[in-house]
């Protein structure tokens, strides 16, 4: 039984850049001797001790495990209700851990935005996780909690305030500031390398419904924006949003897993607001550069240049950069009768690390301590945690959610 476990949460990968931030967040907000029992884990005891010394105290338990050894992973997994992992690329380091959690009845959350690997985990483990009553929840960071929970909140408020749901939501990034870490770049690079080598992987990335249950693989949504266009809904020039290829698929999976609570005709897309006039259009082309770099072939000039200048795994934005960061997401909403509304999600730190570490930490606590529904399988944040997670994000993680009728 999960209630008899030694720990509520084990943070796996605690000595990595993001893992360290999650440990610091949990220690600062929950301590060690509260009603949440947790531990930090990894393979290098000395590195873990150093992190503990710098961001926690000696009362925080340390667990040593080998991520390549199934027996070692099992010995860790069976001790906790929830595994919270930051160890990526997940396609390389995550599969055995997910498998162990499913087999041993332990809930799981991560930061993965690696769509092909998430598809693989769905195909391999969804049905068994349902039988074993396990929640496997990917994408519990900036990709894709603000998008997934933003749509969840906007649809909830649409129904509450207008009596009808939205049949279309168009998320626009209105403002964002934050640095990239080497781990994120390495994960995205790995995904694109797989896509260039394997047509099946490319098809999953290209399919707007690539994370849906296989019997629900089709619809009217189109591929994510790759060009610069004038946007009638925001009255601005817009360009690609680099996380759209992950977020939109997660939102669509949420709708499918819920039995189409948003409706089978629900449409969703994401883009970045670049501004008005000529300046906005020029900014749009600049906005597209990160996408060009990420989707470039491994041997291309762009990719080689990026590999030299972007952070390496284990590197990321400074504390000052994280604290000065923010994001502002607008959810332009078209209701069933054609009327309009606007949802909004903001975060008070940089999206990739300051805010992400808080979101992942609260997702882990939510899975461990809140009275969630019995739904199990390979889930999305909104399906697994719903209202409980929304309250934690607002009350603890520095996110705000607002809704207005236009």
Q: Are residues 331 and 362 in the same domain?
A: no
Q: Are residues 214 and 329 in the same domain?
A: yes
Residue 15 pLDDT grade (very low, low, confident, very high; cuts 50, 70, 90): very high
Q: Domain range holding 309?
A: 145-350+398-405
Q: Are residues 319 and 288 in the same domain?
A: yes
Q: Are residues 346 and 359 in the same domain?
A: no
For the cut 70, the answer to whether the pLDDT of residue 126 exceeds it is yes
What per-residue confidence (pLDDT) applies to 90? Answer: 93
Q: Are residues 163 and 130 in the same domain?
A: no
Q: Are residues 96 and 244 in the same domain?
A: no
Q: Are residues 108 and 193 in the same domain?
A: no
Per-residue pLDDT of 170-216, as tens digits, reads 999 999 998 666 667 777 777 888 888 888 888 999 899 999 998 77
Q: Are residues 339 and 360 in the same domain?
A: no
Q: Are residues 137 and 213 in the same domain?
A: no
Return the higher-pLDDT residue of 147 and 294. Answer: 147
The answer to whether the CB of 259 falls within 8 A of the CB of 219 is no
- Record the tokens describing residue 35, joined without a space: 């009603």
Q: Are residues 325 and 178 in the same domain?
A: yes
What per-residue confidence (pLDDT) applies to 180? Answer: 66
Question: How many Å apart are CA 147 and CA 152, to the nearest integer?
Answer: 8
Per-residue pLDDT of 103-121, as tens digits, reads 999 999 999 999 999 999 9
Domains contained in the chain, number? 2
Q: Are residues 384 and 252 in the same domain?
A: no
Sheet holding 399-405, edge to edge: 229-231, 236-239, 267-275, 166-177, 326-335, 340-347, 399-405
User: The domain that contains 14 carries what CATH number?
Assistant: 3.40.50.720
Q: Are residues 133 and 229 in the same domain?
A: no
Question: How many Å apart are CA 274 and CA 295, to the nearest integer?
Answer: 21
Which pTM does this prediction carry?
Answer: 0.95
């Amino acid at each position: 039984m999960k209630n008899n476990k030694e720990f509520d949460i084990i943070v796996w990968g605690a000595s990595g850049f993001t893992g360290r931030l999650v440990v610091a967040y949990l220690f600062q907000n929950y301590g060690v001797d509260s009603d949440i029992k947790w531990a930090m884990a990894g393979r290098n005891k000395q590195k873990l001790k150093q992190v503990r010394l710098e961001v926690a105290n000696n009362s925080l338990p340390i667990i040593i495990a080998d991520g390549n050894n199934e027996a070692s992973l099992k010995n860790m997994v069976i001790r906790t209700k929830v595994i919270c992992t930051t160890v990526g690329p997940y396609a390389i380091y995550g599969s055995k851990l997910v498998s162990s959690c499913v087999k041993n009845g332990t809930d799981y959350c991560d930061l993965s935005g690696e769509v092909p690997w998430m598809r693989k985990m769905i195909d391999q483990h969804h049905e068994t996780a349902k039988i074993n009553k396990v929640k496997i929840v990917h994408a519990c960071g900036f990709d894709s909690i603000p998008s997934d929970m933003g749509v969840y909140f906007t649809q909830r408020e649409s129904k509450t305030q207008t009596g009808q749901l939205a049949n279309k939501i168009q998320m626009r990034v209105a403002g964002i500031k934050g640095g990239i870490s080497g781990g994120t770049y390495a994960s995205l690079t790995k995904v694109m390398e797989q896509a260039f080598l394997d047509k099946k992987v490319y098809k999953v990335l290209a399919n707007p419904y690539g994370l849906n249950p296989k019997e629900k693989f089709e619809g009217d949504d189109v591929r994510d924006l790759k060009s610069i266009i004038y946007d009638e809904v925001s009255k601005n020039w817009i360009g690609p949003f680099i996380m759209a290829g992950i977020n939109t698929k997660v939102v669509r999976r949420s709708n499918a897993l819920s039995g189409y609570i948003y409706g089978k005709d629900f449409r969703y897309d994401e883009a970045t607001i670049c501004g008005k006039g000529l300046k906005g259009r020029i900014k749009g082309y600049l906005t597209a550069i990160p996408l060009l770099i990420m989707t470039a072939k491994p041997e291309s000039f762009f990719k080689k240049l990026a590999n030299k200048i972007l952070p390496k795994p284990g590197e990321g934005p400074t504390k000052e950069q994280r604290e000065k960061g923010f994001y502002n997401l607008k959810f332009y909403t078209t209701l069933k009768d054609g009327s309009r509304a606007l949802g909004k999600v903001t975060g008070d730190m940089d999206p990739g690390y300051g805010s992400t570490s808080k979101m992942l930490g609260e997702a882990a606590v939510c899975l461990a301590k809140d009275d969630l529904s019995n739904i199990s399988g390979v889930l999305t944040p909104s399906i697994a945690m719903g209202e409980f997670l929304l309250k934690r994000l607002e009350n603890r993680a520095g996110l705000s959610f607002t809704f207005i009728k236009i």
